[in-house]
Amino acid sequence: MITQPQIFVIFEPGLFGRTVCTVLTKDTEFKSDEAGINNHNSSYKPVLDNFHWHREAVALLQKTHEELKTFFSGVNNKNAYSVHNLASYKFAEIPYQKFFSRYLKIILMPKRDCLRSFAERVYEAHITKNAETDYYMKYIKKDLSKVPEYFLKGMAINEKYKYMCEHFDRLQEIKTTLPTNNTLFFDPLDLFDLTKFQNLIDECTHRLDIGSINLPKLKLQTFLEKNKSFFDKHLNS
């Protein structure tokens, strides 16, 4: 049993999971790649390899108890605590209580009617738009250069929205089975309210008895402002 505190930040792509991880690891920089609105280039480093994507969560859930025990033994106990950046709700289904005595799952879960806005953000947050549209068009025998850009963009956003809805609905099915004493649900749009964001961090550090963490408010506010336009209709309602 690993006694070092663990924080599992669980989300779907585009829900600001890395931003929460950046704050929890006391990084004060919110660095984007050329897209300008993501946090891909923060100094957050994963604690474990193969512990981030949806396909990796699926693979882990197929492992035996002993195989999972070996996998999680890679956690570095020399650190005061570890923060894991997990981009799939599937990670919520892993039985962490069998391997960690002190842990907390922070699950970023927006309202369902906000998912399309998040799908639009995750599309814009990636630079390689061609790779995105090529993926969705691979079964359609068309010359993409002749397909209108607005169609490709709309199709990519629709596919991301469907993906998010499927994962969101699965989370609703299993939500009541998750240990309540180790799970915090948080609406990612509440990150735009720095008081609510600080309260989330305070709750986390209090439950795990780790040192307090203060939000780097000025830099965080600058980063969030770049994303605010995607969610104005929700934030102002």
Domain residues of the chain, as ranges?
A: 6-111+175-235
Between CA 94 and CA 31 the distance in angstroms is 30
Rg (CA), the chain: 18
109 against 131, higher pLDDT: 109
Is the predicted pLDDT of residue 165 greater than 70, yes or no? yes
pLDDT of residue 139: 53
Structure-model confidence comparison of residues 53 and 37, the more confident one: 53
Cβ atoms of residues 152 and 134 within 8 Å: no
Is the confidence at residue 58, as pLDDT, over 90? yes
| pTM summary value | 0.90
Question: Which amino acid makes up residue 118?
Answer: F
Q: Is the pLDDT of residue 147 over 80?
A: no
- Check residue 39 and give its pLDDT: 81
pLDDT at 57 over 90: yes
Who contacts 79 (Cβ-Cβ below 8 Å, separation ≥6)?
4
**Mean pLDDT, residues 42-67:** 93
Q: How confident is the model at residue 149 (pLDDT cuts 50, 70, 90)?
A: confident
Residue 120: count other Cβ atoms within 10 Å of its Cβ. 18
Each residue of 201-216: pLDDT tens digit?
999 999 999 989 999 9
Give the closest residue to 185 by CA, choosing from 26, 20, 44: 20
Q: How far is CA 26 from CA 30, 34, 37, 65, in A?
A: 11, 23, 20, 33
Average pLDDT score, the chain: 88
Tell me: pLDDT of 102 over 90. Answer: yes
